[in-house]
């Protein structure tokens, strides 16, 4: 019998000891890899299918793919979450795909360094105790929002209005901007960024990608101008160092006693504005959708919130202590987040390492997403079922519910999001009832989640 010449096995990495095996998986099509399959699953409303199909076929712990022209290892399950959160800046560092980095070129360096210069300050500003000063502001924004955008209307587009609410809130908390015309002026370019952020990266005039690039340049220029004027106002006593996050950044000194420049501040604020309204607007819209679909859940939230409202005088705002009474509402919100928020991110491998018997080579990218656990039936039985009781007692097992990431890159805005969402829920259910106009409307991903048709609803005010 002829001896067949053994072909070189491309699953082995040259840079690893003992020719260690690379993770199993597929590189997909030449050039495009598996990007179409990845995005296509989201467009159909089930982004987790891309992950779970490959976890079933190759490994439930780690598999290989190719996305955006990069070799990618996908870490899955609670073990993957724990490993990634524990090894930030040791084995991996944050990384932006080149298509996104082109929209935010000035932010690439600060992103890759983990925003370390501002991170400690931001954590202090957004920690639980410090957030108490923002409760009245969030309450005022929510009250005015429902008065002006919902009251007296028969039908509205809930998703679009959720975006205007969260963006206006971010402008006031971050920048102390209250002028509605200026907020509207800034909102348009941010919408262009959102639509082109992860669109097909064709950099030609009139494409969503080019509009996003131009919009980001415009926003950065505006934020630099706002920062320069704020610095003048602080020097003249027309603003206070603690009135908003922008002012805190301006007066912040690093370990060398140096103040940050306006360009650096603008980059940070731009990222915070995007993060402060995109994901939260999805959660607010999804809350409206699920509460319309699930009357028993709505009544549970309504009963809890009306008990809190009974203790308030007419027009009196919520206080920090009221939030601790919203236990059921927060369980509902977390279940909404579990079902709709595909927390995700990329890391770049800094040095070869072994994981679960496989080699992950230096230069590869590691893709992390909460969907590998949030919709895993082994971790959350009947994962598509809406069940707030999952969060009773000690809640889900560690590293299974991770919408805000973890480790060195735990989202510093976690408590801010909780506060804003609970205040939104309070005003929503105590003022209105509603129903979906499109009964079969679903949430799709592009790749961020949103109602497929904008969530038109028919609203009815509560009769007091």
Beta pairing class for 449-451 and 353-355 = unpaired
The pLDDT value given to residue 107: 59
What mean pLDDT, rounded, does the chain reach?
Answer: 87
Name the class of domain 17-461. mainly alpha
Helices 208-235 and 262-293: angle between axes, nearest 10 degrees: 120
d(CA 292, CA 453): 15
CA 155 to chain centre: 28
Per-residue pLDDT tens over the stretch 379-409: 999 999 999 999 999 999 999 999 998 887 7
Whether pTM exceeds 0.85: yes
Confidence of residue 108 (pLDDT cuts 50, 70, 90): low
Classify each residue of 177-212 as buried b or exposed e, where b means 16 or more C-beta atoms within 10 Å of its C-beta.
Answer: beeeeebeebbebbbbbbebbbbebeeeeeebbbbb
Residue 274 has pLDDT above 90, yes or no: no
d(CA 420, CA 417): 5
Query: At a CB cut-off of 8 Å and minimum separation 6, what does 89 contact?
Result: 114, 408
Confidence of residue 3 (pLDDT cuts 50, 70, 90): very low
Residue 369 burial (CB count, 10 A): 22
Domain boundaries, the chain: 17-461
Per-residue pLDDT tens over the stretch 17-62: 545 699 999 988 887 889 888 888 877 878 889 999 999 999 999 9
Per-residue pLDDT tens over the stretch 337-371: 999 977 788 899 999 999 999 999 999 999 988 98
Confidence of residue 117 (pLDDT cuts 50, 70, 90): low
Beta pairing class for 70-75 and 365-369 = parallel
Section 251-280 average pLDDT:
83
Q: Could you identify the residue written with the tokens 């018997």?
A: 357
Section 119-135 average pLDDT:
80
Section 192-216 average pLDDT:
84
Section 158-166 average pLDDT:
94
CA 320 to chain centre: 24
């Amino acid at each position: 019998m002829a001896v067949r010449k053994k072909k070189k096995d491309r699953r082995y990495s040259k840079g690893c000891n003992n020719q260690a095996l690379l993770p199993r998986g597929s590189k997909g099509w030449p050039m495009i890899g598996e990007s179409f399959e990845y995005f296509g699953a989201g467009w159909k409303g089930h982004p987790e299918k891309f992950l779970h199909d490959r976890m079933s076929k190759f490994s439930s712990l780690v598999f290989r793919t190719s996305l955006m022209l990069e070799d990618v290892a996908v870490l899955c399950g609670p073990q993957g979450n724990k490993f990634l959160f524990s090894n930030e800046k040791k084995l991996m560092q944050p990384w932006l795909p080149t298509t996104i980095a082109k929209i935010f070129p000035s932010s690439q360096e600060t992103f890759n360094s983990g925003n370390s210069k501002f991170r400690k300050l931001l954590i202090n500003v957004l920690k639980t105790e410090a957030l108490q000063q923002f409760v009245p502001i969030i309450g005022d924004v929510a009250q005015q929002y429902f008065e002006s955008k919902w009251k007296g209307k028969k039908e509205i587009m809930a998703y679009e209005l959720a975006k205007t609410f969260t963006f206006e809130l971010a402008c006031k908390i971050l920048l102390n901007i209250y002028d509605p015309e200026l907020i509207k002026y800034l909102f348009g370019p941010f919408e262009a960024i959102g639509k082109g952020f992860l669109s097909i990266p064709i950099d030609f005039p009139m494409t969503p990608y080019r509009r996003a690039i131009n919009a980001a340049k415009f926003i950065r220029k505006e934020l630099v101008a706002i920062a320069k004027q704020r610095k003048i106002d602080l020097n003249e006593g027309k603003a206070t160092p603690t009135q908003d996050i922008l002012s805190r950044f301006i007066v912040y000194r690093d370990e060398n006693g140096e103040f940050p420049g306006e360009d650096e501040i603008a980059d940070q604020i731009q990222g915070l504005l995007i993060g402060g309204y995109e994901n939260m607007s999805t959660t607010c819209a999804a809350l409206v959708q699920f509460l319309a679909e699930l009357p028993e859940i709505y009544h549970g939230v309504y009963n809890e919130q009306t008990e809190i409202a009974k203790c308030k005088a007419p027009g009196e705002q919520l206080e920090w202590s009221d939030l601790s009474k919203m236990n059921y509402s927060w369980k509902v919100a977390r279940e909404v987040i579990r079902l709709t928020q595909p927390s995700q991110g990329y890391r770049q491998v800094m040095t070869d390492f072994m994981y679960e018997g496989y080699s992950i080579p230096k230069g590869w990218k590691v893709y992390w997403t909460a969907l590998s656990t949030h919709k895993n039936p082994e971790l959350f039985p009947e994962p598509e079922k809406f069940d707030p009781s999952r969060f009773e007692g000690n809640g889900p097992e560690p590293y299974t519910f991770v919408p805000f990431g973890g480790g060195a890159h735990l989202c510093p805005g976690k408590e801010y999001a909780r506060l804003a969402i609970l205040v939104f829920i309070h005003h929503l259910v105590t003022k209105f009832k509603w129903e979906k106009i499109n009964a079969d409307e679903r949430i799709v991903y592009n790749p961020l989640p949103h109602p497929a048709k904008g969530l038109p609803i028919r609203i009815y005010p509560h009769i007091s």
